[in-house]
A and B are shown apart, each in its own frame.
Chain A
Amino acid sequence: MRLWFVRDVHSGAREEFSEYLDGRLSPQRSGRLETHLAHCQACRDDLEAVRATVAMVRALPQAPVLRSFRISAAQVAQPAQGPFWYGLLPGLRLASAAVGVLLLAVVAIDVAGTPQMASLQAGSGAVAEVQKAAPAAEAPVRNLQAPTAPTAASSQGTPGAGEPRPEFGKAADQAAPPPAPQATLEPEGAGSVSRGVSQTDNTPLRVLEAALLATAAVLLGVSVALSRLGRRRVF
């Protein structure tokens, strides 16, 4: 325990040699270091050795400049040289832009295609969906055909109910609120049918969109990283 403590004091002292020699150590820390040096020959020797080393390096002669390094207009006009990836940057940026344009085009095709498909399916799909949910669908159809037996559900949820007959309308007014499922059945049914169909049909487009997005992100990320690296190198 004591030995560990003693070694730590020496290591701590040696870490401050440089700042002490350069006069950059605070008075408090300088005082502590000098107190330690007064009792430690090994650290005194090490400090003096560092002092001698610094003096020798500082005494190294400056080499004379044998020619002028002034630059000329012709040198400035020459293209800059740099690491190999400097030349890749314009290509990377162009590729990122091209992939981005392609991605937008694919997304536009996807979006343009989805409503058309939805509308195509709306006529057949909605009826098919209604027929599938037979108990719920039969009531509105039945009610349309049998005006003498109106129900609130049929009156509210069925388009094309046309002009309401008095008894029909009254019944509708007095009836309970329309069943929410039926009221929303058609749009929901139509939407679900069209979504189901479009999901199946547009899957390749979605996959392509995802791939293009990933590619554009990678290209953009690499070009930004290389640009920053280039700027950091200069200054």
Chain B
Amino acid sequence: MDALRVSDEALVQASRQGDLTSFNLLVDRYQGQVYNVALRMLRDSAAAEDVTQDTFLSAYRNIGSYRGGIFRAWLFRIATNAARDVLRRRARRPATSLDTYMEGETTPRDIPDPATGPEETALQHERQRVLGGLLMELPPDQRTVLVLSDVQGLSYEEIAQATGEALGTVKSRLNRARTRLRDLLRDQRELFPTVQRHNQ
């Protein structure tokens, strides 16, 4: 079976019959996206790995409850729910402060552009590190829609399916998330000059 040509629907149908091999083809297809959503929501690679594994295990066990639609959105719903559970557990343990996750264990890095000098590369990496940390200052529901939209490129309709929210709610929440993140970036004037107002 050519994994690249088989549609999600066909693989889901086979998975419903207990075909673990077909389901693992879906895992191969979406594990990177699910892991990155979890990583951007939790900023902890170990926790993101746990969430990713739990997501696919839960998806296989409950494949019968998948009612059609965009399979990726269904997966993201399971993943974001699992990530929120982690965040709630963290909130109940105040000893683990937000600062720990502001630093982040793992900051994904771009492959350095040879044309870019080392200083610019370091500055770019620093911006990405700070931006990843500032994402954690957004409320979980805003962070979720922002990550799904701007990190994973989901459409409004996919985000609505992934979050179980109305389309209007998704739009307003995304707008608030982006606006709030912009305001947070404005506090880092030296690192993010492009978001400043002209009169500042």
Residues of A within 8 A of B (CB): 14-19, 22, 24, 41-42, 45-46, 48-50, 52-54, 56-58, 60-65, 67-73, 75-76, 80-81, 83, 231-235
Name B's A-contacting residues (CB within 8 A): 20, 23-24, 27-28, 31-32, 34-36, 39-40, 45, 49, 52-54, 56-58, 60-62, 65-67, 74, 77-78, 81, 85, 106, 108-110, 127-128, 131-132, 135, 146, 150-151, 153, 156, 164, 171-172, 174-175, 178-179, 181-182, 185-186, 192, 194-199
DSSP majority for the A interface? helix
B198 to chain A, nearest CB (A): 6
Chain A: CB-nearest residue to B60? A71
A235 touches B65 (CB 8 A): yes
Q: A56-B131, A81-B54 are in contact. List 19 more A-B contacts (CB 8 A).
A: A19-B171, A42-B197, A49-B195, A53-B182, A53-B195, A54-B178, A56-B185, A57-B131, A57-B146, A57-B150, A63-B39, A64-B32, A69-B53, A69-B56, A70-B27, A71-B20, A71-B57, A80-B57, A235-B66
With A and B bound together, what is the CA distance between A54 and B195 in angstroms?
11
Complex Cα distance, B95 from A229, in Å, reads 29
Beta-carbon contact of A69 and B61 below 8 Å: no
Assess the B31–A61 pair: CB atoms within 8 A.
no
**Minimum CB–CB distance for B44 against chain A, Å:** 12
Number of A-B contacts (CB under 8 A): 134
A24–B131 CB distance below 8 A: no
Complex Cα gap A81–B58 (Å) = 9
User: With A63-B36, A69-B52 as given contacts, are A18 and B174 in contact (CB-CB < 8 Å)?
Assistant: yes
User: Is the Cβ of A15 less than 8 Å from the Cβ of B172?
Assistant: yes
B177 to A: closest C-beta gap in Å: 9
Which of chain A's residues has its CB closest to B69's CB? A235
Q: Contacts of B179 on A, CB cut-off 8 Å? A: 14, 17, 50
User: In the bound complex, do residue B65 and residue A234 qualify as a contact, i.e. CB atoms below 8 Å apart?
Assistant: yes
Measured between beta carbons, the chain B residues less than 8 angstroms from A15 are: 172, 175
Let me know if A76 and B61 touch, CB within 8 A.
yes
Q: How many angstroms between the C-alpha atoms of A17 and B183 in the bound complex? A: 14
Q: Which 9 A-B pairs have the closest CB atoms?
A: A18-B175, A63-B108, A49-B195, A57-B150, A52-B194, A70-B24, A53-B182, A61-B108, A45-B197
In this complex, what residue of A is CB-closest to B194? A52
Q: Which residues of B contact A52 (CB under 8 A)?
A: 182, 192, 194-195
A62 to B48, CA, bound (A): 13
B197 touching A49, Cβ below 8 Å? yes
Contacting pair A49 B182 (CB below 8 A): yes
Given A50-B182, A57-B146, A62-B108, are A80 and B61 neighbors across the interface (CB < 8 Å)?
A: yes
Q: Which residues of B contact A17 (CB under 8 A)?
A: 175, 178-179
In angstroms, Cα B21 to Cα A73, docked, is: 10
Residues from chain A with a CB closer than 8 A to the CB of B156 are 22, 24
Q: How far apart are A217's CB and chain B's nearest CB, in angstroms?
A: 28
A60 contacts B186, C-beta separation under 8 Å: no
In the complex, what residues of A have CB within 8 A of residue B66's CB? 235
* Docked-complex contact B150 and A58, CB < 8 angstroms: yes
For residue B182, which residues in chain A have a CB less than 8 angstroms away from its CB?
46, 49-50, 52-53
Residues of B within 8 A of A64 (CB): 32, 108
B197 contacts A65, CB within 8 Å? Answer: no
21 CB < 8 A contacts A-B: A17-B178, A18-B174, A45-B198, A48-B194, A49-B196, A53-B182, A53-B185, A53-B195, A57-B146, A57-B150, A60-B128, A60-B151, A62-B32, A67-B49, A69-B27, A69-B49, A76-B60, A76-B61, A80-B57, A231-B65, A235-B77
Which of A57, A65, A76 lies at the interface centre, i.e. has the most chain B CB atoms within 10 A of its CB?
A57
Tell me how far the C-beta of A41 lies from the nearest C-beta in chain B, rounded to whole angstroms.
Answer: 7
Which residue of A has the minimal Cβ distance to B108? A63
Closest to B180 in A: A53
- Asked if B78 contacts A234 (CB within 8 A), the reply is yes
